[in-house]
């Protein structure tokens, strides 16, 4: 009898559990992107945000319309925006879905994005309420306007390139954008879906496409990062009971009400959302944006550094420095005996590595990337964010000692996101087990912004690092164990540079002596004072000459010699 009662009790509990699970699956409040532990609170520091938009976005930002700009400021976002006429080639004029490849994937996209990331201007009327914290924009919002809800084709068409504004082509475009987004885990990209139209002709297509963006886009592509999110602006404006918001500890996406057309129109013949609909969108968007932001921040520690290419399905290839005989020059990889690296073949065995001060929030990435190069397909992209009194390097370290005494120095082509970026070219001497650092301080110029400039630096420009033995001694090119680009300042810094055609100069006929073509790094006056004690005798009989200690040197002096030795080990 007891066994039968126990069985009936178990069956009753099991039935209740099954019914509860079925009900949860049918409850629209549980659908969407909810994750455990989401945080809807504002960031604990000021975050720079830029919004790509046209008139609907301008109205949404306005204090007297949607109020988005002011509420973003209340949530600790410093807001900048683009509008008609903005940017290089007036790219701001073009924000339709079919224009996003030009922004993010086209031949000029690196130039457009560099301008977008450093944009701090205001191109619409809204209250900012916060001081510019400096640095680049971290959050990128982008939105197409309501004509983009006129998607032709069929609601469930698969992604296929070609045509203009169709469901298939729109899916293809957004799938392709992920290639850029996954290469920039340091940025949070938020898609704002295009608002609806009052005309119902293509409303079913628009609804199906936006549901795909919210529910299926990232999953179908097995997207591995937390730096892409979608806010369904379209859905919020279709009915008072349709929502995309964070509520009661979860994300709600409720979309079954209404007929997929604009409920909040400014007028019968005007598809701009009215103030009521825009304010509704603001109220629902902000907690959701905060959730997206905190998810992104939580995921940064588990993804490769800035700029590192992430392949969703590719098998990683182990790359090791080439085996060379001590005392020989680095063997050429393509034509020309003076070439060190042209970054065209990442699998060649030349492995650039990143090292950084792990005790603070410093990040760096360097890797050959396609899309921005000097007369070739690829260049070395270095993207860094250095905490105050910290450091980081992008280095190519050799397993054996190389002899570069047949050359006169180095040259490379360089492009920078902005002028005034301070960095060091570093050459390592000694042995692979005990490297010594020789540095030449540099600073980017205005000519390097959006154009390639040739940089040459001779051996006489390199001096032993100030924190090492025999500081200021000259570099011996017959003993080379590596080369690097280093970054670090007393103040926090952020920048992005590209390097191509790294050459050993003075080799072969027609070579010319290198001439420095960069401005010297800026140094506080007190660093340039003469030492109180006479220096130790320089190596190899060279006269002692203490150079200006570069920004990286200052940061490493603060960090301590032990930390730098760990970097070189």
Average pLDDT, the chain: 79
Alpha-carbon gap, residue 343 to 186, rounded angstroms: 23
- 339-526+537-568 sits in which CATH class? mainly beta
- Residue 16, SS3 per DSSP: helix
- Residue 552, SS3 per DSSP: helix
pLDDT of 413 higher than 50: yes
Instruction: Please give the CATH topology (third level) of the domain spanning 44-300.
Output: Rossmann fold (3.40.50)
Domains 44-300 and 339-526+537-568 fall in the same CATH topology: no
pLDDT at 443 (0 to 100): 87
pLDDT of 541 higher than 50: no
pLDDT of 391 higher than 60: yes
Q: Express each pLDDT in 325-346 by its tens digit.
A: 333 333 333 333 478 888 886 5
**What is the Cα 282 distance to its own chain's centre?**
26
Q: Where are the domains of the chain?
A: 44-300, 339-526+537-568
Q: For residue 23, count CB atoms less than 10 angstroms from its CB and return exposed for 0-12, middle for 13-18, buried for 19 or more.
A: exposed
The sign of the torsion formed by the CA atoms of 508, 511, 513, 517 equals negative
Alpha-carbon gap, residue 353 to 398, rounded angstroms: 11
Residue 185 pLDDT class (50, 70, 90 cuts): very high
**pTM higher than 0.85:** no
pLDDT of 62 higher than 90: yes
Residue 489 pLDDT class (50, 70, 90 cuts): low
Residue 467 pLDDT class (50, 70, 90 cuts): confident
Spell out the residues 6+ positions from residue 198 whose beta carbon is closer than 8 angstroms to its own. Answer: 261, 262, 265, 268, 271
Residues 447-472 have a mean pLDDT of 88
Percentage of residues in the chain having pLDDT higher than 90: 55
Poorest-pLDDT segment among 275-279, 377-381, 508-512:
508-512
pLDDT at 349 (0 to 100): 56
Tokens describing residue 404:
């570069």
């Amino acid at each position: 009898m007891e066994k039968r009662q126990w069985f009936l009790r178990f069956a009753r509990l099991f039935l209740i559990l099954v019914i509860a699970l079925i009900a949860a699956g049918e409850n629209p409040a549980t659908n969407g992107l909810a994750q455990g532990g989401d945080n809807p609170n504002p960031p604990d520091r000021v975050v720079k945000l830029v919004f790509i938009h046209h008139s609907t976005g301008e109205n949404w930002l306005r204090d007297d319309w949607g109020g988005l700009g002011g509420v973003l400021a209340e949530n600790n976002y410093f807001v900048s925006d683009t509008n008609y006429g903005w940017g290089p080639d007036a790219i701001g004029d073009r924000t339709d879905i079919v224009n996003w490849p030009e922004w993010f994937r086209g031949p000029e996209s690196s130039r457009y994005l560099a301008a977008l990331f450093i944009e701090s201007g205001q191109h619409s009327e809204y209250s900012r309420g916060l001081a510019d914290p400096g640095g680049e924009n971290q959050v990128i919002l982008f939105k197409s306007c309501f004509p983009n809800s006129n998607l032709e084709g069929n609601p469930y068409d698969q992604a296929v390139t070609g045509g203009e504004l169709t469901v298939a082509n729109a899916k293809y475009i957004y799938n392709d954008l992920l290639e850029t987004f996954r290469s920039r885990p340091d940025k949070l990209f938020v898609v704002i879906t295009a608002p609806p139209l009052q005309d119902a002709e293509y409303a079913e297509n628009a609804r199906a496409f936006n549901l795909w963006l919210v529910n299926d886009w990232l999953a179908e592509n097995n997207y591995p990062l937390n730096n892409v999110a979608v806010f369904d602006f379209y859905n919020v404006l279709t009915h008072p009971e349709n929502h995309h918001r964070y509520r009661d500890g979860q994300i709600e996406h409720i979309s079954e009400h209404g007929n997929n057309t604009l409920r909040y129109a400014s007028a019968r013949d005007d598809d701009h959302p009215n103030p009521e609909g825009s304010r509704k969108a603001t109220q629902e968007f902000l907690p959701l944006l905060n959730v997206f932001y905190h998810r992104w921040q939580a995921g940064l520690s588990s993804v490769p550094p800035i700029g590192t290419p992430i392949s969703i399905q590719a098998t990683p290839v182990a790359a090791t420095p080439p085996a060379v005989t001590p005392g020989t020059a680095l063997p050429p990889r393509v034509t020309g005996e003076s070439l060190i690296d042209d970054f065209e073949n990442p699998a060649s065995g030349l492995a650039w590595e990143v090292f950084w001060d792990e005790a603070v929030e410093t990040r760096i990435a360097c890797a050959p990337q396609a899309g921005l190069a000097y007369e070739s397909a690829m260049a070395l992209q270095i993207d860094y964010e250095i905490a105050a009194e910290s450091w980081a390097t992008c280095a190519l370290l050799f397993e054996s000692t190389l002899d570069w005494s047949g050359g006169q120095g180095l040259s490379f082509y360089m492009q920078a996101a902005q002028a005034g970026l301070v960095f060091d070219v570093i050459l390592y001497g000694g042995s692979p087990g005990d490297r010594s650092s020789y540095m030449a301080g540099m600073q980017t110029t205005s000519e390097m912004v959006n154009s390639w400039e040739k940089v040459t630096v001779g051996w006489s420009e390199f001096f032993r690092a100030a924190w090492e033995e025999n500081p200021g001694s000259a570099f011996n090119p017959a003993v080379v164990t590596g080369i690097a680009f280093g970054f670090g300042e007393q103040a926090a810094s952020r920048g992005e540079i590209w390097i191509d055609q790294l050459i050993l100069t003075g080799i072969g006929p027609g070579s010319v002596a290198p001439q420095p073509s960069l401005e010297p790094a800026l140094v506080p006056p007190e660093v340039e004072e003469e030492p109180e004690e006479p220096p130790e005798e320089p190596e190899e009989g060279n006269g002692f000459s203490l150079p200006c200690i570069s920004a990286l040197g200052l940061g490493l002096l603060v960090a301590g010699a032990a930390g730098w030795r760990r970097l070189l080990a």
